[in-house]
Structure 1
């Protein structure tokens, strides 16, 4: 019992990145196969998500002071994005009502946490600060395909508003970002590119959903151009991030490495989705390759996490932030 209490007490808000990472890689393999791998990743991510919800709900009752402090951290928004990513997997599997349920949970968490994060904003910003954008765009990514399924235009409009808000939040964070984080960050600096990737994915899903719902051709043309521009901006962000890993390697394990897995998986997913919307086979091949790379990094970080958890259980390590 003491071991369980020690582990639960060690869980930080950033733990939601585990769900985000596994969830997005699961969505990648739902498109490319094998299906068993996709569902295995989903099962692990869903189990972690359920545990995190239980821990944070209990913490809000048992230690409200700590809960308020943690809710004000940008890393708390990982739970929003993780919830939405799981919903996206279920939506793609033809389970819209379960996806709507997770969308509702994600929206409630977003409404609860985002105001607290913005009220306690600090600068210069770091990688986790971009989670304000990621969490917002994750709602748009889930809402848009559900709107296409139900044929409700207002849902597309709501997703479009979230998409635009996400872009504004990205701009606010980027204008105050400490770019030295690219050289010294512990893994979360990758969200600089991951936020652009999920913004590109949101634009792609909106473009895909807007056609069947009768959006004006002019609006779709603008959205198409925005999607392409965001995709190239994401590429421009990923290149220095990847180069920094070669020039300034950081082999020491840190839980923030889960925030490296998510952008890699998101890069693969964006390529897969854009290949279908823009009919570019080369993007499909690129998306498959990056998906396997993301899985490899997921396995490495998962192994490090298991060692980290074992050390905490034994009382030999401190919780990671």
Structure 2
């Protein structure tokens, strides 16, 4: 159980160089604000638009919400710490950050799977689409995603709470996660690391494999479609696939390996905790004509 000889941790951050820290503050503040604005615009556009009522946009609403929350679990702390002399985080705040990061990260994974299922049914089972992807079923699927995320993050926090800390207390990272915490624990963490890999690593690998299989089925079924139908389906699926690759690539790199750390780990983590939530709204708006038209109609009219 938790050893109270360590009641707070010091986050090392991305760098200790004062000049680089000022640059980090400016760059990541801009990126974080862009992330919040981009995802807020998508959430509000889908909520208020009459034309974006299909299941795809229902799931996109929750993806943008999860993106904004996921970025908020790590970015504000990184931005504030860039100007702080001592990057102190209490034990309770650290455990809360572990739970929140895994909850919203897992939520994003499950919503991406739901979006892939929606595209598969729309392209491969078009005549039964409205029956299979009814509003009630979509609601149930989102609830299951929330429950699954809660189970995953509860398992992670259970493992984190089992770790005894008796010093040192410097976390070589910019946020609390199980891998850097395992290095500080006053115990043999081999078994706990196996559990982390079998939990987070398995979710990443299995989800990524399922998504790849679904896109293979979609591409195979497109051979029977018209040229216009094929072009539209490929456009939608390409944007989804780009999101899947840029999110799952770093996650698989971080969570599916033995307890070793590399200098590049922190930059890889930046990519999926801050980069992906920023890129998602850009990808879905720039590559989606319906969202762009709805945004122009809604927001230009209000302005």
TM-score normalised by structure 1 residue count = 0.40
> Which structure would you say has the larger Rg?
2
Higher relative contact order (CA 8 A, sep 6+): 2
Structure with more helix by fraction: 1
Please report the TM-score for the alignment, with normalisation by the length of structure 2.
0.42
